Amino acid sequence: MRIGSLQLDGRGILAPLAGYGDSPFRVLCRRYGAAMVYTEMVSSLGIRFGNAKTMEMLAFDPAERPVDFQLFGARPDAMARAASVLTEAGVDAVDINMGCPEPKIVKTGAGSALLKDLALVDAVTAAVVHATPLPVTVKIRKGFQIDDNVVEDILGICEKNGVAALAIHGSTAVQGRSGAKDWDVIASAKEHAAIPVIANGGVKTAQDAQRFLAYTKCDYVMVGRAALGNPWVFEQINGILGGACPREIGVDERFSVMQQHVDLEIALKGEANGVKEMRKHLSFYFKGLPEATTYRGRINQITGAAELKGLLDEYHNICVNAGEEVYHEER
Ligand X SMILES: Cc1cc2nc3c(=O)[nH]c(=O)nc-3n(C[C@H](O)[C@H](O)[C@H](O)COP(=O)(O)O)c2cc1C
Binding site for ligand X (CB under 6 A): 15-20, 40-41, 70, 97, 99-100, 139, 169, 177, 200-203, 223-226
Cis (ω within 30 of 0) for the bond into 16? no
Please report how close the Cβ of residue 40 comes to ligand X at its closest, in angstroms. Answer: 5
**In angstroms, rounded to a whole number, what is the distance separating the alpha carbons of residues 131 and 87?**
9
Q: Which of 100, 158, 218, 319 is catalytic?
A: 100
By C-beta, is 76 or 201 nearer to ligand X? 201
> 57 vs 126, which CB is nearer to ligand X?
57
Closest distance of CB 291 from ligand X, Å? 25
On the CB side of 154, CA atoms within 13 Å amount to 36
Residues 6+ apart with CB under 8 A from 104: none
Q: Nearest approach, Cβ of 180 to ligand X (angstroms)?
A: 12
Query: Is residue 100 annotated as a catalytic residue, yes or no?
Result: yes
Query: Minimum Å distance from CB 99 to ligand X?
Result: 5
Between 240 and 319, name the residue whose CB sits nearer to ligand X: 240
Could you tell me which residues are beta bridge partners of residue 311? none
Residue nearest to ligand X (CB): 224
By CB atoms closer than 10 A (0-12, 13-18, 19+), residue 172 is buried
Between helix 233-241 and helix 206-216 the angle, nearest 10°, is: 50
Cβ contact 110:97 at 8 Å: yes
Q: Which is nearer to ligand X, 41 or 150 (CB)?
A: 41
Residues classed as catalytic: 100
